[in-house]
Amino acid sequence: MSLKVVRILMILTTLSTIFVNLISKNSFEINHLQHFKRGLRPVVP
């Protein structure tokens, strides 16, 4: 039982770290594109 809980917690933490890394990478790229193409085309979320 405790091994299952530990395994689930490890999977959740791994998924959350991957999710946060994807969000930070995407937000960084979006900010870079906004700065690079400022005023050229409207920003699409």
- Under a CB-based contact definition with an 8 Å cutoff, are residues 10 and 19 in contact? no
Residue 22's pLDDT is: 86
pTM for the whole thing?
0.51
Tell me the pLDDT of the chain (45 aa) as tens digits: 699 999 999 999 999 999 988 888 877 777 777 666 666 555 555
The encoded tokens of residue 41 equal 């085309």
Rg (alpha carbons) of the chain, rounded to whole number: 18
Q: How many residues does the chain have?
A: 45
